[in-house]
Structure 1
Amino acid sequence: MSVLEELKTNSISRPRYGCAIGAMHTASAIPRVVPITHCGPGCADKQYVSLAFYNGFQGGGYSGGAVPPSANISENEVVFGGDDRLRELIQASTKIVDADLFVVLTGCIPDIVGDDIPSVVGEFQSKGVPIVYAETGGFRGNNLTGHETVIRAIIEQYVGDYSGDKTKNTVNVWSEVPYQNTYWRGDLSEIKRILEGIGLKVNILFGHDSKGISEWLDIPKAAFNLVISPWVGKSVAEYLQEKYQQPYLHIPSIPIGAIETSDFLRKVTQFAVLDQETTEAFIKKEEKEYYKYLEDFSDFYSEYWWGVPARFAVVSDSIYNLSITKFLVKQLGLISVKQIITENTPEEFKEQIREDFRNIDTDVSLEVEFLEDGYLIEESLRSSPEKPAIIFGTTWDRDIARELKGNIVEVGFPSSYEVVLSRSYVGYRGALSLIEKIFTVAISASA
């Protein structure tokens, strides 16, 4: 095989994730935490443009977007090393920028040439500067694994050891990856709301509902950790179990709609030994409101049946893929023809995810594909014996949806035809927003 053929074999067209330094968004998603990127010119900007701008136009917030300080490494640092450049950047950043914590993230160049990041950052840590570092060169993985790297860096280097008492009914939530998941802000807000509704104090850790670094310092005091994801965050929970002796509950899908959300809350209640009457009262209140809205929707659903898409495909990362598929199958009665997971799932988690899809409902068993390449995704959809009338995917799936004469609902990165502020598709309220979106797209396409 020639070098060119080998490169073609190993290339990926239209990947649906960033590189590890994209986890700069993990830092900026924590209120008043500022990422400092030690990388080449353009690296940080590309991660912002792809993950935050052309992905729901989410905005950068206080310390994201074009704000993060960057070393803009040149040939000089490649030849002579970038330690001095980084030292100057940290000095300037900590002097000018008002932050509760700084997170230095490395790109490929300093990781390859061997810059001594721990030593440089250690100089400032020894002086009491709130700063940590994470090695996030692109060859180390994508922004989902980088997300976990940044989390562990903050816990190891800033939160530190703890041997005191745990706070009853307090939980740390590990779920969607900020900015990678287009609707993360609204989704985390809804998750926090429903968990508080059953009597928990919630460290949501990211987004507008987080208390920032004070909440992170409370991580060791929580009674348990809650992972709501097929795999992202699970290694963090295992690490915290060992470090702080905290048990964790792993629920592989974020709940969408009354059936899944009520089941989710009962599982959490049982694990955390909460008051069941409080939980059932909250569920009753939420379900009453939810089904009232569905009753209103039933007029449309019964009269407009001929325009409603019956078959669907989901092309997204695993956290939304499993959750949306469950909702559409179990609560809307739609028929799945294809599920494609796109985030380069670590091999050790794939079989459990396959098993979750095989048990999607009592009488529904589905097979899932793991594909990163945009061309292969299109070929898979194109070759499906049954064509999806609606694809839950990304901007890059619009062409194949048009070719198959189907509709598209953008639910993941990149999402360039959606402007997302606080919208959520999870929980009781988010499910209603998702239903609105699905059938607005359906009737607009038939106009």
Structure 2
Amino acid sequence: MVAQHRELVSAIPGPRSATLHERRVRAVSAGVGAGLPIYVDEASGAILRDVDGNQLIDFASGIAVTSVGHSDPRVVARVREQVERFTHTCFMVTSYEPYVAVCEQLNELTPGSHDKRSALFNSGAEAVENAVKIARYATGRGAVVAFDHAYHGRTNLTMALTAKSMPYKSGFGPFAGEIYRVPMAYPYRWPTGPEQCASEAFETFVDMVHTQVGELNTAAVLLEPIQGEGGFIEPAPGFVARVADWCREHGIVFIADEVQTGFCRTGDWFASEHENVLPDLVVTGKAIAGGLPLAAVTGRAELMDAVHTGGLGGTYGGNPVACAAALGAIETMRAEDLTGRARTLGTVLRARLDSMAAKYPVIGDVRGRGLMQAVELVSDPVAKTPDPVTTAALNAACHRNGLLTLTCGTFGNVVRFLPPLVISDELLDEGLTVFESALAEVTA
């Protein structure tokens, strides 16, 4: 187990990481990105140790995946036990109990007490594609509505659903059809101000769907309750609930993409719960299995059961080892009350970020919930001009000083905070101190 403290024994990246990176350049496609070219040797809790012995505080969690911490004991124990039993049969060929158990947990934990069913897949993108398939099959309609700043994946259909071109879509078309885009209720950048954002964005949404798509042609509306890659945009209060109600009124399937927001990250099991929204379908992934590849679609039984037998599935979907990991991760989330932990630490995080925003005009906005928060950086606070240059410099400064951070946003000007939910108070405080020092450095 890696000791839970930050320690730098070499430059970041160190010599061993540099040697490995040379091997990577010769062996791995240049199309695969590398945010920070260190090579991890061991990790536990909220600390990553690289091959040079440097220990970094992890404010990324593998992009919101290791929410229960690296090498969570319950995940490790369940995976070890399952690997010794069997690693694969394909659930569609011969079934096994862990798949059923994960579906039972999802049916219980996702919003609402209505009758539900679940199906398991490998990745968030694959799960989003299957949610769209289910919605189209059940409604007999073709159109799908997505939002500005959305990110839903890198497959052909999910690239069409994703809003940002570079690096996700550029040069990879043509994309799947019958996808329509509408504005997101983005309070910080809404033209008439945040107070009018929810109502005006909803009116625009309704008008655009009515005139450009038609309610009777719309199979689904797909929305992230807090947008992830697009900039951790928290929609104006009331917007998501109004969209969900409107969908229900018109027989349109409301799909909540909770791949990044799910499993305690925002201080609720799922971000939809914040405004008591009941999605028809919930897409999950990332944190579901403590670091192993697993994703799911969970939804109303009449929708999930509408598809013909054999219409959903895949060779590896719901792999028994990944399912065992998910059961261990969910057990930890329950036993350690990680929703409560996210709320408690989220309050600490928000206070520190608000304090920084008061001192550093480059921080134009602080937003998010729980341990899914972000700062948006601007070069002109009045004009709200995005500042991707300072954002990149800040990210690099954090890395040099042993703090793993991530950027995001349509304009490349957002730093996001996604520490493991099990991070100690002391490590969170130290990581934020490193962040503020880096902020002072790049804005001096």
The interval holding the TM-score normalised by the smaller chain is: under 0.3
Report which of the two structures shows the higher radius of gyration computed on alpha carbons: 1
